[in-house]
Amino acid sequence: MFRWVMTAVGQPLERQELVLDAPRPGEVTVQVEGCGVCHTDLGYLYDGVRPNHALPLTLGHEIAGRVIAAGDGAQHWVGQAVVVPAVVPCGECDACRRGKESICLHQKMPGNDIHGGYATHVNVPAHGLCPVNEKKLAQAGLTLADVAVVADAVTTPYQAVLQAELAAGQLAIVVGLGGVGGYCAQIARAKGATVVGLDVDDQKLELMGRHGVAKGFNVKNLDPKALKKEISNFAKERQLPTREWSIFECSGSAAGQATAFGLLTHGSTLSVIGYTLDKVELRLSNLMALHARALGNWGCAPRHYPAALALVLDGQVNLRPFVEHHPLAHVNQVLEDLHHHKIGRRPVLIPAQ
């Protein structure tokens, strides 16, 4: 057993032998099949975003694997293939009891609050684990490692779509089609919405044109007013609403956030999914004047994971064109390449390779 740990900002991860404690009551030990690499991990490693757990820390919060040991009260999980929630709420506090798990003060996030999945094994709370039907997984042509990205890249936009109350016949605009945005577009389409995709990369626009985006725009080629007019014209052509658009900001960039805010129409919902340290200058009065709303989205409540996974196993959300496997031993090169935009797909680290 081993793990790769972050010891300092900007420094390569270090490989350590792992001596894992027996799982405590309510905990399980998961043998990791795959762990996705998220841009949040890059924020910790390169940008100085401070994790809650003191360094050294094992990063990685997109974990899929098999439960091989369990503490008291969790023995029924042994042998089960699972996806570990990226944010595990306590399930007992006032916020959790009121269905507001995302603001649970006692939540545990692997790779932030506790050691994460850049390892062969990890101890995690059993609360909220999402079981994976391996027969359906095989029928879908996927491996357990593939569905590691369900832990964040799929479930986070899934919850955002639910919060936005997106319904069939509506117009959804996804800003930023890489990673989370690509899955957001597919989820919105699965909910019956017509999806407009915005990006600065023609290849991403072309790819997503085959996976849920009805109309794509390269925002490099349009000023904000022209972009809004083009989308409005598209809505009219498709007999879609020209108000109450649902806008999902997935780029995690200042430019993307400014673009998303500028697309607000009367009754719009702006869902902020991407993260950036950069500041954006906005006129908040637009929310008042347009009777619009802006919603944040932190992770996804574990109770939504089975439904999100079902979209993947049923083929409504396609993973294969958007993920690629790498040996865990290559983690430092993968992080460096992702940091310099040399990897276009979601990397999944495989401990067994």
Asked if 258 and 282 touch (Cβ cutoff 8 Å), the reply is yes
Inform me whether the pLDDT recorded for 86 exceeds 90. Answer: yes
User: pLDDT per residue over 64-74, tens digit each?
Assistant: 999 999 999 99
Q: What is the pLDDT of residue 221?
A: 83
Cα pseudo-dihedral 158, 156, 305, 343, rounded to 10 = 110
Burial of 10 (C-beta count, 10 Å sphere; 0-12/13-18/19+)? exposed
Which residue from 65, 45, 46, 64 is spatially nearest to 56, judged by alpha carbons? 45
**31 contacts 14 by C-beta, under 8 angstroms:** no
pTM of the model as a whole: 0.96
Nearest to 196 by CA among 246, 262, 154, 243: 246
| Percent of the chain whose pLDDT exceeds 90 | 97
Residues in the chain: 353
pLDDT band at residue 344 under the 50/70/90 scheme: confident
| CATH fold of 2-152+300-350 | Quinone Oxidoreductase; Chain A, domain 1 (3.90.180)
317, 342, 315, 318: which is closest to 330 by C-alpha? 342
- Structural tokens at position 273: 């999914």
- Give 200's contacts (C-beta < 8 A, 6+ positions apart): 218, 219, 220
Looking at the chain, the whole-number percentage of residues with pLDDT higher than 70 is 100
Average pLDDT over residues 75-103: 97
Could you state, in order of their start, the residue ranges of all structural domains in the chain? 2-152+300-350, 155-296
Q: Which CATH class is domain 155-296?
A: alpha beta
31, 119 contact by CB (below 8 A): no
Q: How many CA atoms, within 13 angstroms, populate the side-chain half-sphere of residue 133?
A: 13
Q: Could you tell me if residue 178 is left (phi over 0), alpha (psi between -120 and 50 degrees) or otherwise beta?
A: beta
Is the pLDDT at 348 greater than 90, yes or no? yes
How many other CB atoms are found less than 10 A from the CB of residue 243?
A: 14
Question: Dihedral of CA 303/306/311/317: which sign?
Answer: positive
Give residue-wise pLDDT tens across range 280-331. 999 999 999 999 999 999 999 999 999 999 999 999 999 999 999 999 999 9
* 194-199 vs 171-175, strand pairing mode: parallel
Paired strand residues for 108:
88
